[in-house]
Amino acid sequence: QGHLVESGGGLVKPGGSLRLSCATSGFTFTDYYMSWVRQAPGKGLEWVSYSSSGGSTINYADSVKGRFTISTDNVKNLVFLQMDSLRAEDTAVYYCARTSVKWFGDLLGWYFDLWGRGTLVTVSS
């Protein structure tokens, strides 16, 4: 079935950096894409980034492009999110999410089929 555990969250000052990790287990890591999704206090969910297992296909939300970097370790089955130049608006719970891709007839569907419990990032002076 699978299991995801995020770590690395904490309190950081504006302009600072933080590196989140996601430990995965119970599934074949290289069969999936992996994503980061966040939820700011009182707000809805926001997709942040996704990566293929080898890192050949990566995409970012405009709100983090140029500041955040997603990467994977296919040996240890880990996913990382390096967050630089952090802003107050980056304050959120960050979730790691396994991302499945499947053809439904002529429709290519993407969906987050396994999530971690999240790690809280607070950006404040």
Partner 1 sequence: DIQMTQSPSSLSASVGDRVTITCRASQSISSNLNWYLHKPGTAPKLLIYAASSLQSGVPSRFSGSGSGTDFTLTITSVQPEDFATYSCQQSYSTPWTFGQGTKVEIK
Distance of alpha carbon 122 from alpha carbon 111, whole angstroms:
27
Letter for the amino acid at 80?
Answer: F
| Rounded Cα distance, 122 and 37, in Å | 15
Q: Which stretch binds partner 1 (CB under 8 A): 13-21, 67-75, 81-89, 103-111?
A: 103-111
Q: Is 112 a residue that touches partner 1 (CB under 8 A)?
A: yes
Among 19, 76, 87, 117, binds partner 1 (CB under 8 A): 117
How far apart, in whole angstroms, are the C-alpha atoms of residue 21 and residue 95? Answer: 10
Output DSSP code: residue 17.
-
Sheet holding 3-7, edge to edge: 3-7, 18-25, 78-83, 68-73
> Which of the stretches 18-26, 72-80, 84-92, 98-106 binds partner 1 when contact is defined by CB under 8 A?
98-106
Between 49 and 72, CB nearer to partner 1 = 49
Rounded Cα distance between 110 and 112, Å, is: 7
Q: Which is nearer to partner 1, 23 or 45 (CB)?
A: 45
Distance in Å, CB of 105 to partner 1, minimum: 9
- Residues numbered 35 to 64 that lie near partner 1 (CB under 8 A) are 43-47, 59, 61-62
Residue numbers at the binding site for partner 1 (CB under 8 A): 4, 43-47, 59, 61-62, 95, 97, 100, 102, 104, 107, 109-118
